[in-house]
Amino acid sequence: MTYLAEKKMKNIYLFYTSNNPLIPHFPESVLYLAAALRDNGFQSTIFDPDILPESELNIIDPLFIGISIYTNESILKGLKYARKIRNSFPDTLIVWGGPHAQLAPEETARHTLVDVVCYDEGEKVVVDIAKQLSNKYWNPSIIGGIIYKKNNQIIRNPPNKLLDADEIPFPDYSALKKSVYFISQNKIYYQSSRGCPFQCSFCSYKHGRKWRGKSFEKVLSEIDRIISEFNPSEIYFSDANFFVDLKRAKRICMGIIEKEYHFKWSAFCRVDTIQKMSADFLKLLKKSGCYKLDIGGESGADEVLEKYNKGITRKMIIDSVKKISNENIIPELSFIIGVPFETSQNIKETLSLIETLEKEYTLTSINGYFQYQPYPNTPLGERIIKEWQLPIPKSLEEWAQNPITIPRREYFPWLSRKQYNTMMMYTSIVSYKFLYNKLINSAESQILCQKKFRFRILFFAAVLFHHSLIKLSIFIRLKMGVDMFPFEWKLYRRIRDKLLKMI
């Protein structure tokens, strides 16, 4: 008998506000909340406003509302729907969670459209709230991992004990209208662990530094369920750090091979972890279907890497790329630009490293040279915010209007205007090269060309301009070092951000 078997069951509505309508992915975070609610006898509906028209949102007598937000324009969507709900159901509890709620929980809690903030893992929190409200009882003081208001005071409860990884429920895909996620049915995101024990100074990861991996038996049984329901061509392990336990990773690979599954897969892996992998281990990865490893290169300058507290060097990056390239596994790296202590020479070292990797190891993919984002509550971010008195937003609405995830001149006071424009030019060139390769080579772009006429036109335009103008621009900007008036890359960013919605 389920918890509410004998009661009139109210529905819980979960809003996921940060999808890409062009290439939609399953809203992974709220799928876990829906699963926890399901396993405790509660009904939930997921609404994804980037994918579904508002006409499909039919809220009837909600038990409570959950809104998941990131530190970007998704906050505006969250506020929009919170306002609608408050007007239609003034007594309904509105619970906010997600990466931004964890990043700035007290600020989030102060907003009038926020009743409760979940700053902890959400599975236990949503169940505890649902149990109380279903019994017409509300005592937030006994719910761990939340922040709430009482008598105009912000009250922060202690966190819950971290979930054992094997207690994390299997995502509730039944809560989705799966037909609208036409690309994601070929590629499934799956989380096999939580946490990361490393201490990168810029990282805003909030699920705790203690790493918790599901047992290899649990992972393989859940992969069985994914194969049965979706038969995907690809699985992406969306862990913060999949390879913390190499013995577990090895058993998972062996299990995939023994079951004779034929999907391809990828995951994030640190440079220093690749250093520990034997040739036999890498061959096992490849045989099990691993085709790509995402790697945080961050910088080509050792002195910058040291300040990032990465525990790696430029040479280690090169050696790791060589090592996995030899097994025909794609190394896909990302880098950071724009921190105050980075010199023009450091930037040249990073650009030269990117060039070396792309030239000598042709499988290499560089997915971004991203401008630094000064997140609060991170060691590096707090130091830079204080030292440079950055105008970091102080309220939920300010975060929505001026998110640090979108580059703004005022977030880089240590750069001259020319240096800022040069930084944005470099990030744009690397972004373009990555997106162009995806556009030309990926199965996703082929599907998009079939589904969306606008994308088909863009495809042919990209091919035409790449072979006539863009290659010349990249040669002049990177090879000849001409960084004056990068107007063509400003135009590119407008097309990418406004037309493609790929901010």
Instruction: Chunk the chain into consecutive blocks of 10 residues (it has 503) and report each block's average pLDDT, rounded to whole numbers.
Output: 48 94 86 96 94 91 96 92 96 96 93 96 97 95 96 94 93 87 82 93 71 97 95 94 97 98 96 97 98 98 97 98 97 98 96 96 96 92 95 90 86 95 94 80 61 61 69 85 86 74 54
Distance separating alpha carbons of residues 420 and 414, to the nearest angstrom: 9
pLDDT reported for residue 207: 43
* b/e code 264-293 from CB counts within 10 Å (16+ = b): ebbbbbbbebbeebeeebbebbeebbbebb
pLDDT reported for residue 5: 38
Please provide the CATH number assigned to the domain covering 11-156: 3.40.50.2300
Run of H or E residues at 436: helix 417-441
Domain covering 186-372, topology: pyruvate-formate lyase- activating enzyme (3.80.30)
Query: Would you say 370 and 338 are in contact if contact means Cβ atoms under 8 Å apart?
Result: no
- Tell me where in the chain the CATH 3.80.30.20 domain(s) lie: 186-372
Residue-level length of the chain: 503
pTM beyond 0.75: the answer is yes
- Tell me where in the chain the CATH 3.40.50.2300 domain(s) lie: 11-156
